[in-house]
């Protein structure tokens, strides 16, 4: 399934649930689509190669890592380099769609 189709499917599911999301489809040339949910959750759908196979990945930004890093005085530009193994969490499609298209319980 192509990234554009997945983005449209995600947007449709979010709209159905009354959730507003912003999808930056201008990044398609980079093989990923950043997505921001109305509650501030940041995610992305992207293509990557693993063992010579193209795969689709669904990623959420780990907000607690970002908050921790900022509180500890890290510069925004350094956060990814220092926390690249834990800043994004990969989910399966169903988990990702659930997080990005349903209301958060606070």
Q: Is residue 40 situated within a structural domain?
A: yes
Cβ 58 vs Cβ 96: under 8 Å: yes
Q: Is residue 106 situated within a structural domain?
A: no
Q: Is residue 42 situated within a structural domain?
A: yes
Task: Give yes or no for residue 1 having a pLDDT over 60.
Answer: no
Predicted confidence band of residue 106 (pLDDT cuts 50, 70, 90): low
CA–CA separation, 47 vs 2, rounded Å? 9
- Per-residue pLDDT, 103: 86
Mean pLDDT of 41-49: 92
Task: Give yes or no for residue 59 having a pLDDT over 70.
Answer: yes
Q: Is residue 39 situated within a structural domain?
A: yes
Q: Is residue 19 situated within a structural domain?
A: yes
Give the domain range for residue 51.
3-101
Provide the whole-model pTM.
0.82
Predicted confidence band of residue 10 (pLDDT cuts 50, 70, 90): very high
Mean pLDDT of 37-56: 92
Cβ 45 vs Cβ 7: under 8 Å: yes
Domain count within the chain: 1
Task: Give yes or no for residue 46 having a pLDDT over 70.
Answer: yes
* Among 27-36, 56-65, 90-99, the least confident range: 27-36
DSSP state of 56: E
Buried b (16+ CB within 10 A) or exposed e, 30-50: eebbbbbbeeeebbbbbeeee
Q: Is residue 66 situated within a structural domain?
A: yes
């Amino acid at each position: 399934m192509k990234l554009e189709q997945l983005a449209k499917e995600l947007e449709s599911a979010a709209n159905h649930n009354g959730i507003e999301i912003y999808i930056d489809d201008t990044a398609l040339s980079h093989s990923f689509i950043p997505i921001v949910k109305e509650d501030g959750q940041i995610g992305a759908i992207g293509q990557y190669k693993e063992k010579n196979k193209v795969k689709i990945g669904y990623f959420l930004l780990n907000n607690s890592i970002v908050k921790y890093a900022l509180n500890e005085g890290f510069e925004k530009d350094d956060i990814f380099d220092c926390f690249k193994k834990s800043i994004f969490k990969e989910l399966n499609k169903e988990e990702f769609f659930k997080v990005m298209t349903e209301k958060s319980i606070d």
